[in-house]
Structure 1
Amino acid sequence: ASFGMGCFWEPAESMLKVDGIIDTVSGYTGNKRFDDDKKKTVPSYENVCYGQDWVEGVQVTYDDSVISYGELLNVFFDKQKPAPQSRQYSSIIFPYDEEQYDVASTWSEQNKEINYQRESDGFKAEWTSIEYPRTKFYAAEGYHQGYWQKQRPR
């Protein structure tokens, strides 16, 4: 599963604390024009910061016998830190297939009317969008992986 969750550092780490989530990767996604460009190179953090179509994303590997995709969507919404005026830091679900798209669409409809508010900080998110078919996910540079674990004082 892949999500735009705001700056990817904190959500990538906080997702790892959830039962059933095996791994997370910070990366870049959401740029269809880049995916269609045959002369492209792998995107860099600089491309993402100064480009217009990129989203900082978190790719999540999970055990679906422990946590369902629908439950994962609730975790995603709770852990995200989007910045509404910025595509780079926006809240986006990138379903991998029709089944995930159907679950995400149903989840979105069911939660839209609730005006979902996280209990942890009272943050009212700009509503999450769904982009399907999804664009490719490119892993970010190594220094972005496990960023908070590396930066935290020992």
Structure 2
Amino acid sequence: MARRSSLRLTLLAAALVAATPACAERAVQAPVPALDATPTQKLETAVFAGGCYWGVDGVFSHVKGVHLVVSGFSGGPRGQRVDYETVSEGDTGFAESVRVTYDPAQVSYGTLLRVFFSVIADPTTLNYQGPDHGTQYRSALFPLNAQQDKAARAYLAQLGKSGLWRDPIVTRVEPFTGFQSAAQDHQDFMRKNPRHPYILRWDAPKLAAFKTMYPALYREKPSA
């Protein structure tokens, strides 16, 4: 099953590269959050959905203060078990997501939000990011506590007033109903497959933009 899934992903990526323009999504320097989340423990966890989780994982793993990034699925019914194949059908309610474990003494939740909307996800595209279309590729924030919820909602409102995007903000704050890890061959995909055609076209430019835009936050060696 894993081998067939890998072959399917390679063929899909090649088809997308052939069918899409030779350009990456636009990086935007999002504003510093006016309201940040107050840490509640030594290590915090945050969950983001922003299109294909390969690139979301790939960028967040290079952020100083991030200890671990796991690719998986969030947003669907609590208790329902899913995998890449079922989520890819687009009717489960789940979105490809990442779970980020970070040290708030080094990087705050608000800073992660800023990185996310600067170089990872376009908050104005409804149910798609880049070449990937469907509700499973929506952008969403899944706060894990009241502090994150307050900061996330405040930041989306701040982005809406920033004038950085022509279209309205459609990223939503959604209830956290759990997180399920994706299969091992989807974890740390960018680092393990730097020459994959999808990575080269859509995700490597995001990491390059992050390194250029936020050099003080960038670290060369990715987290586990």
> Same fold, TM exceeding 0.5?
yes
Distance 2:47 2:83 in 1: 18
Q: Is the CA contact (8 Å cut-off) linking 2:88 and 2:136 kept in structure 1?
A: yes
Tell me how far 1:78 sits from its aligned partner: 2.1
Shift of 1:87: 1.4
Instruction: Kindly state the Cα deviation for residue 135 of structure 1 after the two structures are TM-superposed.
Output: 1.4
1:6/1:89 contact within 8 Å kept? yes
- The answer as to whether partners of 1:115 and 1:124 remain within 8 angstroms in 2 is no
User: What TM-score do the two structures reach when normalised by structure 2?
Assistant: 0.58
User: Relative to 1, partners in 2 of residues 1:125 and 1:20: Cα closer, same or farther, differing over 3 Å?
Assistant: farther
CA contact (8 A) 1:6 1:91 kept: yes
TM-score (structure 1 length as normaliser): 0.82
The offset of 1:126, in angstroms, is 4.9
Q: Residues of 2 paired with 1:114 and 1:145: CA distance?
A: 34
The Cα of 1:144 is off from its aligned counterpart by 0.2
Distance 2:141 2:162 in 1: 18
Aligned residue number for residue 142 of structure 2: 94
How many pairs align?
141
- Structure 1 unmatched runs, 5+: 118-122
Q: CA RMSD in A?
A: 2.0
Amino acid at match of 1:92: A
For the residues of structure 2 that align with 1:131 and 1:72, how far apart are their CA atoms?
Answer: 17
Deviant stretches of 4+, over 6 Å: none
CA deviation profile, 1:5-28 (whole Å, cap 9, x unmatched): 110001101111111111110001
Shift, 1:116, TM fit: 3.3
Q: Which has the larger radius of gyration?
A: 2
**Which stretch has the larger CA shift, 53-62 or 72-81?**
72-81
Counterparts of 1:3 and 1:145, CA distance in 2: 15
The alpha carbon displacement at 1:80 in A equals 2.2
Kindly state the Cα deviation for residue 81 of structure 1 after the two structures are TM-superposed: 4.0
Shift in Å, 1:125: 8.2
- Kindly indicate whether the alpha-carbon contact (under 8 Å) linking 2:160 and 2:169 is maintained by their aligned counterparts in 1: no
Partners in 2 of 1:76 and 1:23 — Cα distance? 16
The equivalent of 2:95 in structure 1 is 55
- Tell me if 1:143 matches 2:182: no
Q: Cα deviations across residues 26-54 of structure 1 (Å, max 9, x unaligned)?
A: 0011002xx15xxx4x3111110014111
Confirm or deny that 1:130 pairs with 2:170: no
Structure 1 position 74, deviation (Å): 0.6
Which residue of the partner structure matches residue 207 of structure 2? none
2:110 equivalent among 70, 81, 99: 70
In the alignment, is the contact (CA less than 8 A) between 2:95 and 2:138 conserved in 1? yes
**Structure 2: 5+ residue runs without aligned partners?**
1-45, 128-133, 196-224
Return the letter of the residue paired with 1:145.
Answer: Q
Residue in structure 2 matched with residue 120 of structure 1 by the alignment: none
Q: Cα gap change, 1:141/1:115 in structure 2, threshold over 3 Å: closer, same or farther?
A: farther
Rate the CA distance shift 1:146–1:125 in 2: closer, same or farther, 3 A. Answer: farther
